[in-house]
Chains A and B, each alone.
Chain A
Amino acid sequence: MSTNAVSAPGARVARRVNYLNARHGVRSWLLTVDHKRIAILYLIGVTFFFVVGGLYASLIRLELLTPKGDVFLSETYNKLFTGHGVMMVFFFMIPGIPGVLGNFLIPLMVGARDVAFPKLNLLSWYLFAIGGLTALWAVVHGGLDTGWTFYTPYSTVYSNGWVVVTAVGVFISGFSSILTGLNFLVTIHTMRAPGMTWMRMPLFCWGMYATAIIQILGTPVIAITLLLVAAERLFHLGVFDPAQGGDPVLFQHLFWFYSHPAVYIMILPALSVISELVTAFARKPIFGYKFIAASSVAIAALSFLVWGHHMFVSGQSVYAGLVFSILSFMVAIPSAIKVFNWTATLYKSAVSYQTPLLYALGFIGLFTFGGLTGLMLAALGLDIHVHDTYFIVAHFHYIMVGGTIMAYLGGLHYWWPKISGKLYPEMWSRVSAWVIFIGFNLTFFPQFILGYLGMPRRYHAYPDEFQVLNVMSTAGASILGLGYLIPLVYFFWSMRYGKDAADNPWGATGLEWQTPSPPPTENFAETPVVTGRPYDYTTIPEEVRVG
C-alpha cells in the first residue's frame, strides 16, 4: 500500500500517484483504511443526510407559507420537524466537520501517516452509515413525532411512531461518534511528528481535541438514556414512567447532559476551522494562539455544566436554574475570546477576500449574533418569555446553520484543492457565499421577531398577523436552498473540469500544504520535522508553492 507511491513511476509518469488514484474500484473505497478516503466516504454520507434533512426543512417552510394548516395535517407536520431535526442533528451536524475535515486533516496537520486506529476509523463510518440508514428507514416508514429530543413520557408511552427504531439508529451512530472522538484524541496524543509540540499544533487540531473530549464524555450518556427509553417502550421498565414512580425530568437531565455538549460537538470544529481560515487569509500569525487553543478546551469543560438551561421551565429547582444561568453566561467568555482574536488578527492585515474568507467573515457575524441571543436565553426571566418560541429556533439556527454550515463550507472550499487536487470556480463560489449569507438571514432573522412576538415553535398553523414574516422566512429558505445547490454542482464539476491545484494554492502554513495535492496514500514521503510555531507568515513558504 504505502510502497506503491514510491515504486510506481511506470506507465504514465505525468500522473502522480495519490490517494485517489492509487487503487480503483468500489471495494477499494468501501474497505479502505486510509483516513483521506474515509473522509470522502463521510463527505458522501453527510451530504446525503443533509439533502434529506433539507427536504424536510423545505416541506416545513412550505406549510408555514400560509397561516392555515393547509398542506399537512398537524400529525404529519410533527413528523416533518422531527425528521428534519433527527437527520440534521445526528447525521449531518455531529459527524459533519469531524468526519470529513477532521478525518482528512488531523493526520496531515500533525504530520502522521494515518489516524491511530485506521480500522476503527472505517468501522466508525459504517456505524454512522448504518445508524443513519436505520433512522432514515424509520423516518420514511411512517416516521415519529416526538421531536428530535424524544421527551418522555410522550416518547415512551403515548407516541405511536417508530421511536425505538429511530433511537436504535441514533444509538448506533452514537458509537460512531464515540469511536471517532477516541481515535482523534489518541491520534493527537501519540501521532504528532517530531517537534510538533502541543503549542505548535494547528488550532484546528486543538478544536478537534476539545470536540473529542465531549464526544467521549457525553455520547455514552445519551446512549444509555436512549437504551432506557427503548427498554421502557419494549419491556415496560419504568425508569422514566411517572406511573411507576419514574421521573420524566430525569430523562431531560440525562438527555441534555449529552445534548447540550453535543451543541459544542457541532460548533467547536467550526470555530477551529475559522481560526485556520482567518489566519491564512489575513496572511499574518493568529492573534493570541494560546488563548484560542485554551478557549476551545474551556468551552469543552463548560459545556458539561450548562445543560440545565434547557430546563428552566421543566420544574427544575429555582436554585439550580440560577446556577445554570450563571454558568451559561460564562460560556460567552471563551467564545468571545475567539471572536475578538479573529478580529484582532484581521485588523490591519493584508486581507485577501477569497471565498473561504467570505464564509469565515459570514461565520463571525452570524456566530456573534447567535451567541448574543444565546445570552438572552441564558437569562432566567427572558427565557421563560421566549421559551419554545421561534426565538429559540432562530437562535440555534444562527449557531448551527449560520455558524457550523458556513464554517463547514468555508473549510471545504479552503481544503478542496488539497482534497480533490482541483480548483473550484472562483466566481461561482463567491456568488454562492453571498447567496447563502443573504438567504440565511432572510430565513432566520424574521424568526427572531416572530418568536419575540410570541409565535410558538412546532405548530403547523399560526395567526394571520404572523404571515408576512413567515413568507419572508420561506422566501429566504428558497434562496438558501439555491445557495447550497451551487457549491454541490461546482464541486462535482471541478472534479472533472477544474484546473489542477498547486500543492499550496493559498501560500498557507501548515504541514497539510507541504505535501502534494492530492496527497499520496502515505501522506508524507518522509516524516516531517517541525521546528517552529504555527502560522508563521513572516516567512511565507514560497518554495512550497512551486511544488
Chain B
Amino acid sequence: MADAAHAVAAGTPPELQHHFTDLEHQREASTLGMWVFLVTEVLFFGGMFTAYVVYRSTYRPAFEGASNLLDIRLGTINTAVLLLSSLTMALAVRAAAQGRKKLIVFFLSSTILLGAVFLGIKVVEYSQKFAHHEVPGPHFVVPEGLPRQAEMFFSLYFCMTGLHALHMIIGVGLLSWLIARARRGDFSVRYSTPVDLVGLYWHFVDIVWIFLFPLLYLLGRHTL
C-alpha cells in the first residue's frame, strides 16, 4: 500500500492491511475466508463422490473387481507419506507461531519433499495403468473376467485422484512461496497467518485422500 510508510510511523504493523482495525481482526477474516474456501472444495469433490457412490451401488461387481487391480502396496505407502506430510505441516505451523525461521523452512521443505514423494509414486501408479490399458478411452481393454463397467471405475479413479494430485501440486507451489517468505523473515510471533492458512489447505487435501484411499483401494478387496 502507498501509505505503508505512514502506517509504520504511526506504530501500525506493516503486515496490517489498511481496511482492518488490527492484526487480530485481519487474522480472523483471513481464517474465516480459508475455511469457507475449504467448504467450496468439499462441494467440488462432493460431485465426484456422489457419482462414485451412485455407480458403485449400481455396478458393484465391476467396481470391486477393478478395485483389486489397483496397487494396494503403493496406495498404502502413499497414505503413510501423506499423513507424515501433515505432521511436518503441523510442525511448521507451530514453528511459525513461535517465530523460529530456520525451523519453519525445515518443516516446510520436509512437507514439500513428502508431497513430491507422493506425486512420484502416483506417477508410477498411473504409468502402470497406461501400460495395462486400464486408462479409459479408445485404448481401454476391459480386464479379464470383469464387467465392462470397470471402465467407469477407472474413469472415476483418474478424475478423483487426478484432481487430488492437482491440489497437491498447487499445495507444493504454495509451500514454496511460504519458504521464500519465511527466508525473507516475514513471519514472526506476531504474524504467521499465511502459514496457518496453507496448513489448513494442506490438511484438507490430506483428508480428501483419507476418503479416496478406502473408497478406491480398500472397499470390496478380497485378498491382498
Point out residues on A near B: beta carbons under 8 Å: 1-3, 112-114, 116-118, 120, 178, 182-183, 185-186, 189-191, 216-221, 223-225, 227-228, 231, 235-239, 244-247, 250, 253-254, 522, 527
Contact = CB atoms under 8 A, between A and B. Distances in A.
Contacts of B223: none
Contact of A113 (B18, B46, B152): B18
Most buried by A among B18, B32, B46, B58: B18
A178 B33 contact: no
Contacts of A221: 43-44, 46-47
Given A235-B137, A239-B155, A250 B54 contact: yes
Contacts of B25: 190
Interface stretch (B34-42, B80-88, B178-186): B34-42
A247 B137 CA distance: 17
B159 A219 contact: no
Instruction: Label chain B's interface by main secondary structure.
Output: helix
A107 B62 CA distance: 54
A3 B10 CA distance: 13
A2 B4 CA distance: 11
B36 A182 contact: yes
Nearest to A118: B19
A120 to B, nearest CB: 8
B18 A186 contact: no
Contacts of A182: 33, 36-37, 40
Nearest to B50: A254
Interface in B55-92: 55, 58-59, 62
Contacts, number: 122
B3 A250 contact: no
A244 B137 contact: no
Contacts of A189: 29, 32
A216 B19 contact: no
B131 interface: no
A217 B159 contact: no
- Which of B2, B6, B41, B47 has the largest number of chain A CB atoms within 10 A? B47
Contact of A2 (B18, B48, B58): B18
B156 interface: yes
A199 B107 CA distance: 45
A237 B137 contact: yes
Interface in B6-54: 6, 17-19, 21, 25, 28-29, 32-33, 36-37, 39-41, 43-48, 50-51, 54
Nearest to B36: A182
B151 interface: yes
Given A245-B59, A247-B55, 10 more contacts: A116-B33, A117-B33, A118-B19, A220-B47, A228-B48, A237-B137, A245-B62, A246-B152, A250-B51, A522-B18
A77 B88 CA distance: 58
A3 B29 contact: no
Given A216-B40, A217-B39, A220-B43, A245 B18 contact: no
6 contacts: A2-B18, A186-B32, A186-B33, A245-B59, A254-B51, A522-B18
A216 B42 CA distance: 10
Contact of A3 (B3, B47, B50, B137): B3
A245 B159 contact: no
Nearest to B39: A216
Contacts of A245: 55, 58-59, 62, 148-149, 151-152
B213 interface: no
B137 to A, nearest CB: 4
B106 interface: no
A218 B62 CA distance: 31
B224 interface: no
A223 B159 contact: no
The 10 A-B residue pairs with the shortest CB-CB distance, nearest first, are: A224-B47, A220-B44, A220-B43, A113-B19, A237-B155, A245-B149, A114-B19, A236-B137, A190-B29, A116-B29
Contact of A220 (B33, B41, B59, B62): B41
A238 B151 contact: yes
B136 A254 contact: no
A3 B155 contact: no
A244 B40 contact: no
A231 B18 contact: no
B126 interface: no
A268 B219 CA distance: 43
B204 interface: no
Contacts of A253: 50
A116 B33 CA distance: 9
Contacts of B2: 1, 3
B65 to A, nearest CB: 14
Nearest to A178: B40
A1 B136 contact: no
Nearest to A246: B152
Contacts of B43: 216-218, 220-221
A2 B55 CA distance: 56
Contacts of A219: 40
Nearest to A218: B43
A185 B156 CA distance: 33
B145 interface: no
A536 B58 CA distance: 59
Nearest to A35: B19
Contacts of A3: 2-3, 6
Contact of B159 (A1, A118, A237): A237
A381 to B, nearest CB: 28
A231 B159 contact: yes
A254 B19 contact: no
A225 B17 CA distance: 37
Contacts of B51: 228, 239, 250, 254
Contacts of B28: 190
Contacts of A186: 29, 32-33, 36
Contacts of A236: 136-138
B47 to A, nearest CB: 4
B191 to A, nearest CB: 17
Nearest to B2: A1
B40 A220 contact: yes
